Structure 1
Amino acid sequence: MALRDVDHVHYLPLFGAVMATALVGSRTATLFVIGVSIAADLAMKGRSDLFDAAVGAGLFIAVSLLLAEVGHRLTNRTALLHSILTSVPVVTLDDEGRIRRITGPAADLLGVAPEDAHERPFSLFAPDFGEDILASFVKDAPLAAPPSGYWLVRRPNGEIVPVIIHGGLLAHSMASERVVLSLADQRPSLAVNDRMRDLMDQLSKSWRLNSMGEMAAILAHELNQPLTAATVYLHACQTDIARAGPIGDSAGRALDLAKTQLLRAGDIIRRMRELIATGASQLTEERVSSMVDDLRPLFDLIRQETGIAVRIDVDTTGDRVLADRIQFQQAITNLVRNAVDAVGDHPGAVVSLTGRSLADEGYEIRIEDNGPGIAEDQMDRIFQPMMTTKAGGMGLGLSVTRSIIESHDAALAVGRSALGGAAFSFRLTPVTELEAA
């Protein structure tokens, strides 16, 4: 009203109203304010010259629309920047390293509420980001990451979070905020790297297993012939020794045992070839007690070599099961040898093999020892190929054993034995008297 009688400037106060509306309101609201401003100016000015009033109003509209567009663009840009900043982990610090501003994602990464982080030293969360690092960065030195490539953030609950920090400096005019830090959580990246390493290890193991499978098939084929020839020679030796009469009885019995083991080795190779070729076993009706009795000479040899006797307690009641005799004996031998290796020089070493009928649940075989046992974190890993705790071991014994047991439609379980060491057990499918008949 003070400027209404002054030409060319009476619209100036109204530009402020238009700009303020453009910054906080929509385009429709801005057009409404422009219209109200023109009507108010005409009402206060009371001009009789319509042409002059129209020209003034036109100029006002043109300049107002230009200012309004600038205001809207500034508002949109500010809203965009605000949206970006509130969606990423960003922290601003003063010259002393205190947190002046923190976004929600950054507060979540530090494990605190935004109001709890305000005015607190950033080094309280990132101990390695000390005053010397901040001082060097403020002096335009590069923000060098630790040797590991990332910083470690310690949350109030004690959890350690690896992060990458990128920094920037603000102008000196912004007195309270000097440094802007952008944080990036490295946990997903490190998890992906760990997963990739695991996959590479698994691929490497698979390649080696495939190579070993091919090699095993070749060896099974090549070894079968010399074993057959050795059996023939032993049989000829038995014939010659039999002519010596009672003097050669002891040597004849030793040769008979040797021939039995050679025949058994041939059967093992033949069955392994079938398992490699078809992946399945031919299960027939067998008695567990009979299959275990065949292994007693082998257990005697183990006792002679190690001084550790294998206690055998196999119940003959209900011990008719479906099994591949040779592969079953191979699995039992592997488990007993592992148990003997586990007890080692343990005083009072005990290795036990028991068999019990559980009626319809199957016939259970357990191999136990009183050695150190198996750590809880190793329970799920000991059956993995190439996994071994023995010096010079290949890590295939338990893996092959589990494959044999699974080919019998059973599962090899591992746990803690009442003797104090490890206990391996599995259940074979029973054959009822009716089925046997």
Structure 2
Amino acid sequence: MAGQEKADPKSFLSLRSAEELHALIDTAPDAIVISDQHGTILTFSKGAHDIFGYHEADVLGENVGILMPSPDRERHDRYMHNYALTGEAKIIGSGRVTTARHRDGSTFPIKLEIGDLGSEGNKAYIAYIRDLTESVEAKRELHTLQNELAHVSRISSMGSLATSLAHELNQPLTVVSNYANAARDLLADPTAHNIELVREALDECASAALKAGQIVHRLRDFIKRGETERQVASLGRIIQEASALALMNGDGKGVDFETQIDTDADQVIVDPVQMQQVVLNLIRNALEAMLDSEHKHLRVETQRKGGAFAQVSVIDSGPGLDKNVAERLFHPFNSTKSDGMGLGLSICHSIVQSHDGKIWVEPSDFGGTAFHFTVPLAEVSGDDG
């Protein structure tokens, strides 16, 4: 940090204990980063080097914010200061899916867990970081979020419902197939460790089968009632998790990705899982649209819209949309993809409308497409703008 003397990485622990700790954490497959109460990096494991691209010597004494994309990087020091003053933790002691920043500037999804180390006056924090880009856990996180969305496919006709149902069921059925195949392969070498992995795989199969049944029931109930389970939620958190999921499997490689979150438009009244699905669909569409673009720029931003709504915008530098396509873009079975069923944007439209918002598309400043949608704010001001 500018104006702050860099900490001695060995000052937190004795030389011997520091060396022993480092030897231990270097055996961990995930990244482990230890920082002091000011956010200064004290220890950077081999696993951290593997996923972030930095050598330990490059980052010792630097602020941990260099591992974060905007706006998390700018908010980190303020968050740690508030935690030191109030003891109120938003991340410490719990895990969450978020995004991290590689040395080359690219953004990728991670599972982050942070714990306390040390004592009062000599505080430190240990972060366990798992790269979700291609992991089984990433697929599990994505599967869980998507399968909780059974009721998002509210389509009026029985034909549309049948197609949507098949689309939603594909996720848990794929999970059942993958884990069953994995269990079969593990049984070829029935060691005690592999048998335990087989049990876990079968548990996941059973869970996915139950999810498939839940999808049928929840879709039916949603079609019948047309209700959403609304609550006060953080729009920034919804976008952060949806962005992490969209960047899995390396889909964000080569993309200049940024978020601009308006804190005055953060608290909204929504079904968080449904809103994640809307943002996830729009980001995925943008990534697919930019596959052949020379420069790939994607921005997700929020802003207050009048006194009662928050607006979310997903803006890309793709080829843009034909005007005739844009006019029917949110209709069922209208797709810009040769192999698409045309349900993704129709579902987004249904979700946004069920939240009393609206969704629309227009050309973006990057030369591509900008999708916008609105959702109700939790705190409504007197400005009806």
* Greater Rg by CA: 1
TM-score (norm 1): 0.40
Q: Which structure carries more helix by proportion? A: 1
TM-score (norm 2): 0.45
Higher relative contact order (CA 8 A, sep 6+): 2
